[in-house]
Amino acid sequence: MTAIETLPLARKLGAYMALSQAERTLISDLHQSCKPVAAGRRLVDQGQSNHLAYILSAGWACSYKILPNGARQIVDFHIPGDFLGLRHVLLHTSDHTIESITDSEVADVPVKELLEILSRNPRLVTAVLWAASRDEAMVVEHLVNIGRRSAVGRMAHFLLELGSRLKLVGLGDKQGYVCPLTQYHLADALGLTAVHVNRVLRQLRENGLLTFRHGVVTFDDYHALSTMADFDPTYLDQAGTTSIVTMRNRCPAQ
């Protein structure tokens, strides 16, 4: 297995369409500036203009908005293989902040370079737009989650979604996944208080559906949990996902 094949972005886009060796090389080229980023570093600031886009190749990050009253709404979490701030490069200012949650590895992607690489391969344009469309479908689902699901339903739906996304890049399966999120992250993503998050997680555990403990989410009964949460992963559009293998999710060797 070569380094290129271990890139989460290649794995993710590969779920959308079979990638040629040339396309894999282009994806690898996008990672040339890959560098470590410490936990808690802001990559994009709300209100900032003219910033770069990024590819997250290892670690977790989140996008959020801070309201004038100090309340925080987390819009999405980002996992290896995700673009960060891709859409902001078109708007004149970023509409939210992106911050690393864990120690991570991130590649800068100057827009000009991205467009140049994509112009060499129109098929890859479609794959990148697919990834962007999927990101938007997730935000829509988060809106539905907060607007119309019970606290326990939205928690279950959210952790199932993360599980499916992680599965796509080889970092989880139907048993569960390693998850660095705190109760505060979950509260700010789901429109709950931290106390409420604890209560909801206890309820899921006591009902034999899911356990989130010591940084690991375990699906105790995946089927029953999916049914309870009305989780239909169609919007993630990853039906063709290949089987899970353990992969190194690192930058390619420099």
CB of 90 to a copy of itself, least distance (A): 4
> What DSSP character marks residue 56?
E
We find the least distance from the C-beta atom of residue 155 to a copy of itself, in angstroms, to be 14
Q: Which of residues 38 and 66 has its CB atom nearest to a copy of itself in the complex?
A: 66
| CB of residue 252 to a copy of itself, shortest distance in Å | 27
Q: How far apart are CA 150 and CA 53, in angstroms?
A: 35
Minimum Å distance from CB 145 to a copy of itself? 9
H helices present in the chain, as ranges: 8-16, 21-29, 111-119, 122-148, 151-168, 183-190, 194-206, 222-228
Other beta carbons less than 10 A from residue 36's beta carbon: 12
Task: Closer to a copy of itself by CB, 179 or 228: give it.
Answer: 228
Residue 219 to residue 200: CA distance in whole angstroms: 15
Alpha-carbon span 195 to 193, nearest angstrom: 5
Nearer to a copy of itself, 239 or 245 (CB): 239
The two three-digit tokens of residue 245, written as one number: 């293998």
Between 150 and 175, name the residue whose CB sits nearer to a copy of itself: 150
| Min dist. Cβ of residue 198 to a copy of itself (A) | 19
Give me the residues that bind a copy of itself (CB under 8 A), please: 47, 65, 67-69, 71-73, 75, 87-88, 90-93, 95-96, 126, 129-130, 132-137, 139-144, 146-149, 190-191, 230, 234-235, 237, 239
